[in-house]
Structure 1
Amino acid sequence: MTGGVLPTGHWLRRAGGLLWCLAGILAVTPAYSADYPTKPITLVVPFTPGGTTDILAREIAHRLQVDLGQTVLIENRAGAGGGLGAEIVARASPDGHTLLMGHIGTLALNPSLYPKLGYDPIRSFAPVALVARVPNILVVNAKSPINTLAELVAAAKARPGSLAYGSGGNGSAAHITTEYLKHVSGVDLLHVPYKGTAPFVTDLIADQIQVGFTGATAVMPQVKAGRLRALAISSARRMRAFPELPTVAESGYAGFDADQWYGIVAPAGTPAAVIARLNATINSALLSPQLQARLDQEGAEAAPASPEKFGSYIAEEIARWRPILKAADVRID
C-alpha cells in the first residue's frame, strides 16, 4: 500500500533506515511524562482473539509491560468492523491508560463504509505509533485444484457466485481486500462473514469455504503446515518470507496494492508527553532484533514512525481508499 508518508520499498525496509527514523524521532521528542503510567494500561483490540490485530497487539503489550513497568491488559471488543472498540477508546479518559490497537479498517476504511460512525479517525484520536505493515495472502484449501490466481479467476467466472470467500466480518480488511480483487478481476464470489478471522480460517482448512484473502500473520502458519495453499499476496512487491509467491499485480492486475497496517492511537487530548513516551517505547521495541525476528516470522514488517507521520499517513489512507471503495461498490452486508 503506497503513500507519500511510507512508500513501499523505502527506508522502512532497511535496518539502517529504521535506525535513522528513530534518531529523527528522538530529536524532536518532547520531555517524557515522569509519572506515567500510574496504573495498568488497557489496550483495546477491536476484533476477536486470533486475528492479526490481536496477535500484533499482544506482542506490543508484552514489550510495553516490560519497558513501562505496568501491567498491560488486552481487551477484545469486537463489532461493527472494529468500530465498537474504537468508539470505546475515543470516549475514554485521555490519560494514556486506554489505547486502541487500530488498523487500516478502523482508521482508514470505516469512514467510507459506515455513514453513522461513532468516532472520527482524525478528530477522536491522538496518533501514538505506527506498528507494522502486513500483506494479505490469497489462500485456498491445500486440497483445492486451484493453484494460481489465474485459475481462481477462471473457476469463479465459470461458476459465478458459487465460490465462497470468508472474512473476519463485514467491513474487515479481508472483506475489503477481496471485494477490491473482485472489482479488478471481474469475478463474482460469495461473501461469508464470520465473527473473527480465526473461525473463517478454520472453515477454510475444513473446506467449508473455498477462498480467503487475509493478513499473512493469520494464515502463514497454516500455509507452512500444508493445510492451506497460497496463490498471491496483496503487496506491491514480493514477501521476504515467501519470495516465490507472486503479487496480485504481477498476476495480471497492475497497481493492485492492499496491505494491512496497524498502529496504536490514544483518545484525543492525551498529553503530548505521554504520547512521546509511548511512541519512543514502541519504536524502541520495533527496532529490537527479537521483535523484528518475531514480526518477520509472522509475516509482518516493523514500521516505526513519529506520531505526526502516523497521523498524516492515516489521513492519506482515508483519502486513497475512498474512491477505491466507491468504484468497487463495497457494501456492508
Structure 2
Amino acid sequence: MFRRSVLTLGILAVFGTAAHAQSGYPNKPIRLLVPFAAGGTTDLIARTVAEPLGRELGQPVVVENKGGGGGSIGAAETARSTPDGYNLGMATVSTTATNPAINPKIPYNVATDFTPIINVAATPNVIAAYTKLPFHDYKGMLEAVKKEPGKYAYASPGNGSITHLMMEMFKLSTRTDMVHVPYRGSGPALTDAVAGQVPLIFDNLPSALPFIKEKRLTALVVAAPQRVPALPDVPTFKEVGLESVNRMAYYGLVGPKGMPRDIVDKINAATRKVLQDPAIRKRIEETGSIIMADTPEAFAKQMREELAVYKDVVVKQKLTMD
C-alpha cells in the first residue's frame, strides 16, 4: 500500500507546476529525441507524426536520433532536459519498462523523471528469420532451436529492449536456449539479419515488415491481438500457446518531469488532431500498428504496468546487463 502511494505521488509529481507555461508556446522549434538509431520503428513513428505535429503547433518538430544503451542514453537526455515543452522524447516499452527492469544503474526513474504526454500507437512484434535457414515457419523454428540448444542466435535492438526481454519470455515458456546479439537499434539489427549475419531477429513489426514483404526475411510468429492483415498466414503467439508473450509495444511522447500542465495538454490535443488525419492514420496502420491517442494519465498507468511485468521476467530469468 505504501509503495503504491509512493508511485502515485511520483506520477503526480511529473505534472507539477514548478515550471510555468511560456506565453505563446511554442515560439521556437521543438526537439523530438528518438532514443534509437534511424530506421527502426520508434524512428518511423516519430517521423510520421513530427511534420504534421509541427504544422499543428505552428513550429517545426525536429527529430533527432541518439541511440545506445537499449534506449537509455537518449531517454536519460530527455529526462535531464528543461521542462519547457521544447524538449520531448519518444518513450517505448524498452525505455520505460524493459531496460529499467533489467538495469539497476539506469540513470532515470520512470515513475518520477518523465511527464507522460500521449501514447501515439501500439505495434505488434515479430520473430523473423534469415530466408536461407532450413525452416520457414514457427513449428520448424521451434523444432530447430530445441534440437540444438545454443546454436541459434537472435538479434534485438539492444540489451534491455522490449524484444530482448520478450525473447526471454519465449525462452522461459518454451524451455529453449538461444544466444542474444544486441545492436544499437532496429536498423543495424535488421541489416545483419537480412544479410544472414545472425539467423533470427525479434523486432517491432513496422521496421521488419518491409523486409518481410520483400521476402528478405521470413516472418514466423507475431505478438498481436489477432493475425496481422499484411501477414495472414503467420500465427500469433496466443495461437501457438504462448499468450504471455503476446504483448505489443507502445510509442508515446514524454517530456522531462515538471512540464506545465497546459503545455502537456496542448501537445496532447495537437497530437490527437494529427492522428485523426486519414492519411497519417493510414501510414501508421499500414505498418500493422494501432492508433492509441490516449490521455497523459492513461499513458502513465500503462508505463507502470509494463514495468511491473518485465521486472517479473528479469527476476525469473535471473537476467543482468552483464
Secondary structure of the residue that 1:293 maps to in structure 2?
helix
User: Could you tell me whether the CA contact under 8 Å between 1:43 and 1:99 is conserved in 2?
Assistant: yes
Q: Which moved more, 1:188-197 or 1:263-272?
A: 188-197
User: Could you tell me whether the CA contact under 8 Å between 1:33 and 1:277 is conserved in 2?
Assistant: no
Residues 215-267 of structure 1: CA deviation (Å, up to 9, x unaligned): 01111001111111111101242223323321112113243322111111011
2:219 paired with 1:230: yes
2:268 paired with 1:279: yes
User: Could you tell me whether the CA contact under 8 Å between 2:168 and 2:313 is conserved in 1?
Assistant: no
In structure 2, C-alpha distance between the alignment counterparts of 1:91 and 1:204, rounded to whole Å: 34
Secondary structure of the residue that 2:44 maps to in structure 1?
helix
In structure 2, C-alpha distance between the alignment counterparts of 1:166 and 1:255, rounded to whole Å: 21
In structure 1, C-alpha distance between the alignment counterparts of 2:169 and 2:62, rounded to whole Å: 35
One-letter amino acid of the counterpart of residue 42, structure 1: R
Per the alignment, residue 240 of structure 2 pairs with 251
Per the alignment, residue 229 of structure 2 pairs with 240
Per the alignment, residue 140 of structure 1 pairs with 129
State the Cα distance separating 1:33 from its structure 2 match.
Answer: 7.3
Residues 41-97 of structure 1: CA deviation (Å, up to 9, x unaligned): 011111111111111111121121111121211121112211111111111111000
2:308 paired with 1:319: yes
One-letter amino acid of the counterpart of residue 127, structure 1: P
1:61 to 45, 50, 75: 50
One-letter amino acid of the counterpart of residue 198, structure 1: G
Secondary structure of the residue that 2:211 maps to in structure 1?
helix
Identity %: 36
Q: TM-score, normalised by structure 1?
A: 0.87
User: Could you tell me whether the CA contact under 8 Å between 1:236 and 1:256 is conserved in 2?
Assistant: no
Secondary structure of the residue that 2:238 maps to in structure 1?
coil
One-letter amino acid of the counterpart of residue 111, structure 1: P
State the Cα distance separating 1:150 from its structure 2 match.
Answer: 2.1
User: Could you tell me whether the CA contact under 8 Å between 1:241 and 1:296 is conserved in 2?
Assistant: no
User: Could you tell me whether the CA contact under 8 Å between 2:99 and 2:159 is conserved in 1?
Assistant: no
User: Could you tell me whether the CA contact under 8 Å between 2:146 and 2:177 is conserved in 1?
Assistant: yes
Per the alignment, residue 278 of structure 2 pairs with 289
Residues 70-126 of structure 1: CA deviation (Å, up to 9, x unaligned): 121112111221111111111111100000101001112222111122111120111
Per the alignment, residue 166 of structure 1 pairs with 155
In structure 1, C-alpha distance between the alignment counterparts of 2:280 and 2:234, rounded to whole Å: 24
2:71 paired with 1:82: yes
2:138 paired with 1:149: yes
2:33 paired with 1:36: no
Q: TM-score, normalised by structure 2?
A: 0.90
One-letter amino acid of the counterpart of residue 267, structure 2: L
State the Cα distance separating 1:196 from its structure 2 match.
Answer: 2.0
Q: CA 1:196 to 1:293, structure 2 compared with 1: closer, same or farther past 3 Å?
A: same
Q: Which moved more, 1:187-196 or 1:38-47?
A: 187-196
In structure 2, C-alpha distance between the alignment counterparts of 1:261 and 1:330, rounded to whole Å: 23
Secondary structure of the residue that 1:118 maps to in structure 2?
coil
The gaps in structure 2 that reach 5 residues or longer are 1-20
The gaps in structure 1 that reach 5 residues or longer are 1-31
Q: Which moved more, 1:205-214 or 1:231-240?
A: 231-240
In structure 1, C-alpha distance between the alignment counterparts of 2:123 and 2:320, rounded to whole Å: 24
Equivalences for 1:84-233 in 2 at 5 Å? 84-233=73-222
In structure 1, C-alpha distance between the alignment counterparts of 2:141 and 2:33, rounded to whole Å: 37
Q: Which moved more, 1:144-153 or 1:160-169?
A: 144-153
State the Cα distance separating 1:199 from its structure 2 match.
Answer: 1.5
Secondary structure of the residue that 2:116 maps to in structure 1?
strand
User: Could you tell me whether the CA contact under 8 Å between 1:236 and 1:257 is conserved in 2?
Assistant: yes
In structure 2, C-alpha distance between the alignment counterparts of 1:138 and 1:268, rounded to whole Å: 35
Q: Which moved more, 1:271-280 or 1:114-123?
A: 114-123
In structure 2, C-alpha distance between the alignment counterparts of 1:231 and 1:275, rounded to whole Å: 40
In structure 1, C-alpha distance between the alignment counterparts of 2:180 and 2:257, rounded to whole Å: 35
User: Could you tell me whether the CA contact under 8 Å between 1:176 and 1:330 is conserved in 2?
Assistant: no
User: Could you tell me whether the CA contact under 8 Å between 2:93 and 2:161 is conserved in 1?
Assistant: no
